[in-house]
């Protein structure tokens, strides 16, 4: 069983690697500008272990209830854990214990909570600002919809808050291609808009170079737009057994 699963994951990883390489070549970008993060949500710790054996170093989860025990089981592996889901402040203490990077920072209350728990855990937490591109025309920075994210005009204030917070490091921006609004169904345009937001951010925070965009279905568009990190679940692990 394990051998079968290992072979399946190896083949899937190779296919994804070929897709990323081809997208980089097409965009005239060096392959090493793009880092693959494998989204292991809903899959067991045994899969995370196999992925680590196959050379994966970055993994992502979106629910603390699932991620915390998995990270504990895999604590001996050389992995960086990314948290990519909507994060409630009552889960922050747990997440701060294992996450290297929280990609879903979208409100100042969360910055305060993350800072407090990072200091308590004596860890430095990388933070990406999750940008909601379906909120482009909103009149104020706000959390929108179920998927979270701050409207583009809310990014500068949130960036300053993270940069000033103890225990936190501002690493960049993240988005999920929007299902509604002007960018619905227009992944390339959405990711190009995220790149603009990243360029503006780097004018005041030059170290915030990470741009996390693109999933199994749209990683090519993300690489074309300039993403530095793609988050791939299904194309590596298979179609998820339940919603995650």
Ligand X SMILES: *Cc1c(COP(=O)(O)O)cnc(C)c1O
- Give start and end residues of each alpha helix (H) in 107-237: 108-121, 155-164, 187-204, 219-225, 234-237
Beta-strand (E) ranges in 51-156? 58-61, 80-83, 99-105, 125-130
Shortest Cβ 154–ligand X spacing (Å) = 19
The residues pairing with 172 across neighbouring beta strands, listed in sequence order, are: 128, 210
- For ligand X, the binding residue among 20, 84, 99, 101 (CB under 6 A) is 84
Angle between helices 108-121 and 155-164 (to 10 degrees): 20
Shortest Cβ 7–ligand X spacing (Å) = 20
70 is a contact residue toward ligand X (CB under 6 A): no
Q: Which CB, 83 or 98, lies closer to ligand X?
A: 83
Residues 6+ positions from 154 with CB-CB distance below 8 Å: 140, 141, 142
In the complex, residue closest to ligand X by CB: 233
- For ligand X, the binding residue among 16, 71, 92, 176 (CB under 6 A) is 176
From residue 29 to residue 58, the character string flagging contacts with ligand X as x (rule: CB under 6 A) and all else as - is: ----------x-x-----------------
215 is a contact residue toward ligand X (CB under 6 A): yes
Shortest Cβ 100–ligand X spacing (Å) = 16
| Length of the chain measured in residues | 244
- Footprint of ligand X (CB under 6 A): 39, 41, 62, 84, 176, 215-217, 231-235
């Amino acid at each position: 069983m394990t051998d079968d699963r290992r072979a399946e994951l190896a083949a899937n990883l190779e296919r994804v690697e070929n897709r990323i390489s081809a997208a980089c070549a097409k965009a005239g970008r060096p392959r090493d500008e793009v880092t693959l993060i494998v989204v292991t949500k809903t899959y067991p710790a045994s899969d995370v272990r196999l992925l680590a054996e196959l050379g994966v170093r970055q993994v992502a989860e979106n629910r603390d209830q699932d991620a915390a025990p998995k990270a504990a089981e895999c604590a001996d592996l050389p992995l960086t854990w990314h948290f990519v889901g909507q994060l409630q402040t009552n889960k922050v203490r747990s997440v701060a214990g294992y996450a290297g990077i929280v990609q879903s920072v979208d409100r100042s209350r969360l910055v305060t909570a993350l800072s407090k728990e990072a200091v308590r855990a004596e860890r430095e937490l990388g933070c990406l600002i999750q940008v909601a591109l379906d909120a482009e025309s909103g009149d104020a920075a706000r959390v929108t919809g179920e998927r979270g994210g701050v409207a583009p005009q809310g990014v500068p204030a949130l960036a300053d808050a993270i940069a000033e917070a103890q225990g936190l490091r501002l690493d960049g921006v993240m988005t999920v291609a929007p299902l509604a609004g002007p960018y619905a169904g227009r992944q390339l345009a959405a990711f190009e808009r995220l790149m603009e937001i990243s360029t503006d951010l780097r004018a005041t925070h030059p170290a915030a170079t990470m741009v996390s965009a693109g999933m199994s279905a749209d990683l090519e568009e993300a690489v074309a737009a300039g993403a530095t990190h793609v988050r791939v679940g299904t194309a590596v692990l298979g179609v998820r057994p339940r919603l995650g």
